């Protein structure tokens, strides 16, 4: 079945550093991927839509200069949290769907998430 | 995207059927009903989806009312591993399919 892989699964770093999270579709190609953030005991909040070969689309209230998204190929999107601070600590999750799925019936699939802790 | 309403929590005995309701009274004609679940500290897992007909797969059954304003996810023989937060989401099948998550239902399976 469709698999979406995220790396790293967890990361701890000092305040002020930048952290890059990778999201890969392993057995399909995705022109669009999505990035979510989830705080403890809350639901997933959509941050942005990552578009292959073009700029990402950010949801209202999400700082594009803070959360840099690059979707350089049909199987890889990256989220970089720049100058991270403790309030950026969260569970970050990506999702993707086979780019052919809009003509079929395939759902979106999610990665296992990246737990980010900023000290 | 259409808004969905789910009970915040439910309990079910192990081995019994778990029936999770979802209201989506403002669903539009081109929107599907998707169900995902999230086990603690993992990414959401796809369960099932449907448009207007009832659907069944190896994980669950989905019953959609004739007016499509509500649906029920059925886990026929719940196990302890089915304890999770279950999300009902409506979204168009076409296009990028942005999924907007509500608060979901926290289902606890009791031994």
> Got the DSSP string for A4-40?
EEEE-SEEEE-TT--EEEEEEESSS--SEEEEEEE-T
Between B98 and B69, name the one with better pLDDT.
B69
Name the minimum distance, in Å, from the CA of A66 to any CA of chain B.
Answer: 22
Q: How far is CA A112 from CA B46, B61, B91, in A?
A: 12, 24, 22
For position A104, what pLDDT does the model report? 61
Q: How far is CA B32 from CA A51, B74, B101, in A?
A: 23, 17, 14
For position A86, what pLDDT does the model report? 96
Neighbouring-strand partners of residue A45? A37
Name the minimum distance, in Å, from the CA of B68 to any CA of chain A.
Answer: 19
Could you tell me the pLDDT band of residue B96, with boundaries at 50, 70 and 90? low
The SS3 assignment for B36 reads strand
- Whether the ω angle into residue A8 lies within 30 degrees of 0, i.e. cis, is yes
Which chain B residues are within 8 Å of A97, Cβ to Cβ? 96-97
d(CA B37, CA A31): 24
By DSSP bridging, strand A19-25 and strand B70-75 are unpaired
By DSSP bridging, strand B84-92 and strand B70-75 are unpaired
Q: Angle at the Cα of A46 (from A40 to A50), degrees rounded to 5?
A: 130
Q: In percent, how much of chain B has pLDDT > 70?
A: 95
Write the pLDDT tens digit of every residue in B7-33. 999 999 999 999 999 999 999 888 899
B82, pLDDT greater than 90:
yes
The series of mean pLDDT values per 10 residues for chain A, 119 residues long, is 88 96 93 94 94 91 95 93 96 89 75 96
For position A103, what pLDDT does the model report? 60
B2, pLDDT greater than 60:
no
Average pLDDT over chain B, rounded to an integer: 93
For position B68, what pLDDT does the model report? 96
For position A105, what pLDDT does the model report? 65
Q: In percent, how much of chain B has pLDDT > 90?
A: 82
| Nearest residue on chain B to A113, alpha-carbon basis | B43
The CA-to-CA distance between both ends of chain B, in Å, stands at 37
For position A6, what pLDDT does the model report? 96
Name the minimum distance, in Å, from the CA of B52 to any CA of chain A.
Answer: 14
Residues of chain B numbered 26-85 and touching chain A (CB < 8 Å): 34, 36, 38, 41-46, 49
Neighbouring-strand partners of residue B30? none
For position B95, what pLDDT does the model report? 65
Burial class (CB in 10 A: 0-12, 13-18, 19+), B61: middle
């Amino acid at each position: 079945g469709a698999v979406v892989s995220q790396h790293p699964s967890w990361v701890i770093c000092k305040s002020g550093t930048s952290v890059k999270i990778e999201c890969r579709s392993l057995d399909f190609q995705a022109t669009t991927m999505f990035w979510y953030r989830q705080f403890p005991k809350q639901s997933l909040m959509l941050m942005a839509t990552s578009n292959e070969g073009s700029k990402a689309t950010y949801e209202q209230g999400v700082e594009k200069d803070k959360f840099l998204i690059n979707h350089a190929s049909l199987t890889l999107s990256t989220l970089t949290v720049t100058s991270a601070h403790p309030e950026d600590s969260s569970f970050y999750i990506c999702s993707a769907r086979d780019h052919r799925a809009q003509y079929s019936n395939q759902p979106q699939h999610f990665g296992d998430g990246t737990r980010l802790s900023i000290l | 995207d259409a808004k969905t309403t789910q009970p915040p929590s439910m309990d079910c005995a192990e081995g019994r059927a778990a029936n999770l309701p979802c209201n989506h009274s403002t669903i539009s004609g081109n929107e599907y009903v998707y169900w995902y679940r999230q086990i603690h500290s993992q990414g959401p897992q796809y369960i099932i989806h449907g448009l207007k007909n009832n659907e069944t797969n190896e994980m669950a059954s989905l019953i959609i009312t004739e007016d499509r304003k509500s649906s029920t996810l059925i886990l026929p023989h719940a196990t302890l591993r089915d304890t999770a937060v279950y999300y009902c989401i409506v979204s168009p099948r076409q296009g990028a399919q942005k999924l907007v998550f509500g608060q979901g239902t926290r289902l606890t399976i009791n031994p």
